[in-house]
Amino acid sequence: MENQAVGNSSTKAASSGTSTAQRDGRGVWVLTAYGISGLALFGVLLYYFSTYVTR
């Protein structure tokens, strides 16, 4: 009975560690996507601003 309880808790600890590692990797990709989107938006705004100034 005690062995089953220990086995279950170690399995839960291993699976929770795996989900944390996957979540960290996903967060990096989300931040990268936000960064690229922000740079693209900044470029578009800079283009329209420079077009407005040169007129």
Return the sign of the alpha-carbon dihedral for residues 24, 26, 28, 31.
negative
Does the global pTM surpass 0.85?
no
Question: pLDDT tens digits for 2-54?
Answer: 555 555 555 555 555 555 555 568 889 999 999 999 999 999 999 999 999 99
